[in-house]
Structure 1
Amino acid sequence: MDKIIPSAGLGAELEGQLQVVVDALSRVYHRQLVSILLYGSAARGDFISGRSDVNLLVVLQSVRLEDLAEAAKQLRRWRKFKITPLFLTEGELRLAARAFPLEVSDIQESGYLLFGSNPLSTIVVSPEDVRAQSRRELHGSLIRLRQGYLELLDHREALGGLLAGAITSLLPVFRAIIRLDGTPVPSTDMEVVESVASRHHLDRDLLTRLLAHKRGSIRLATADVRQILSRLVEEWERVIVLVDAA
């Protein structure tokens, strides 16, 4: 393993397991393996044990089904720790910078290199591609949010899950908005929400409550869920206008 994993609240057991995963991938793929990066909340220092996934970007020279079969043998053990690997080639990663610039930007900014060379160091993400994906994500998620409300209207607990998923969808867009503003992106999700809400006069109370609900630190009263969802849809439409103006 090339680097020691940074202290991000992962715990000694999970950090040790990550070392096992990196060593296993290095043995399995040998010269095919270009790099392994830790990304997401585990790299940003916003990790919640038992809730957050441990995201790994595994870059190979080629990705064939027989190559993945080797990794699949290890997946059962990794799932216990919510370790989720994403396998891409360097060429696919360059294409992903155009198709998925929000995700690529996040990994460029906070990803932590565990093995090999960093394939993201020479990739440039276009601001227009960022705006385009942000619009797609916002419009698509808003449609799913409305549809979910129709289907789950009489299931308050399920609506709570819908709200948690909604704030999860907003966070990458919020980080993109901060980048388009030309300012550094905070490391934690709560700081991201507070930054965007303050700078662009969004409903800070609503957004921070939803994030706390997603993280499990508060529980929304079932009687309030429908009202909160209504407020969220209104706020969502404001974010769409905000991205269009960025």
Structure 2
Amino acid sequence: MQSVDWTIDGLPEETQKLLRTYVKDVTKVYGSELEGIILYGSAVRGEFLPGRSNLNLLLVMSSYDLATLKQYDGLHKRWSKDQVVVPLFLTVDDIQSASKAFPLEYQDIHDCRRLLWGQDPFVGLKIDTRYLAAEVLQALRGNLLRLRQRLVEGRSTEEAITILLALSITALLPALRGVQRLLDRPVLAHAEPLLKDLEAALAVDLTGLRD
């Protein structure tokens, strides 16, 4: 499998260097079982904050079993210190067959990803969006329920509200981009213009989320 030349505008050079080392480590561990490594999320959208944001990756595997997953133990111990969360382990068949069940997540990855190594199964992928509205609604309601729980845990103090609202908007962004897709509006990657666009489209006040 050929290496891929890549750079990501707006991502600190130190983080890009870290990712290149990660790619070397992962390819060494998995060898021919590995078919591709894809970076997605804030690091690709230009919203990555060193020391705060996670690095989200997807490993495209030829196949996997419990032994395959256990092989990642050492990598997780090494790379979790650098905000690299446990990656998604998927085969090409997984990606093609499950896009119907997870249109929100798959469309988000499809629209904002960078191939770091190997093949990219999202090229030419047709995502079935028939159930997008249901998943968007589930995500919005689920985030609201979790926010209420965490407010109770934080005793509804001003400090808790400030922290939780910031975390909540981060969790809500994929669902809000899903709303834009349902409205056939341009899908915006960054939070501020996304919220302003939805305010205009839906005639709602989202100042609380922006602040």
* TM-score normalized with structure 2 length: 0.88
Matches within 5 A, 1:87-98: 87-98=89-100
Specify the alignment match of 2:113 in structure 1. 111
**Alignment deviations for residues 35-83 of structure 1 (CA, whole Å, 9 cap, x no partner):** 1111001011111111111111111011222222222212222122211
Greater helix proportion: 1
Uncovered stretches (5+) of structure 1, i.e. residues with no partner: 210-246
Uncovered stretches (5+) of structure 2, i.e. residues with no partner: none
Matches within 5 A, 1:153-232: 153-209=155-211
CA distance in structure 2 between the partners assigned to 1:114 and 1:154 by the alignment: 42
Matches within 5 A, 1:126-145: 126-145=128-147
Q: Is the 8 A contact 1:101 1:130 kept in 2?
A: yes
CA distance in structure 1 between the partners assigned to 2:160 and 2:16 by the alignment: 33
Matched AA of 1:92: D
Identity between Structure 1 and Structure 2 (%): 34
Q: Is the 8 A contact 1:32 1:61 kept in 2?
A: yes
Q: Is the 8 A contact 2:33 2:62 kept in 1?
A: yes
Other structure's SS at 2:82 match: coil
Specify the alignment match of 2:76 in structure 1. 75
Other structure's SS at 2:27 match: helix
Query: Higher mean Cα deviation, 133-142 or 68-77?
Result: 68-77
Matched AA of 1:159: I
CA 1:155 to 1:95, structure 2 compared with 1: closer, same or farther past 3 Å? Answer: farther
Deviation at 1:109, TM superposition (A): 0.6
CA distance in structure 2 between the partners assigned to 1:44 and 1:145 by the alignment: 25
User: Superposition RMSD on alpha carbons, in Å?
Assistant: 1.9
CA distance in structure 2 between the partners assigned to 1:147 and 1:45 by the alignment: 31
Q: Is the 8 A contact 2:100 2:129 kept in 1?
A: no
* TM-score normalized with structure 1 length: 0.77
CA distance in structure 1 between the partners assigned to 2:70 and 2:148 by the alignment: 39
Matched AA of 2:75: Q
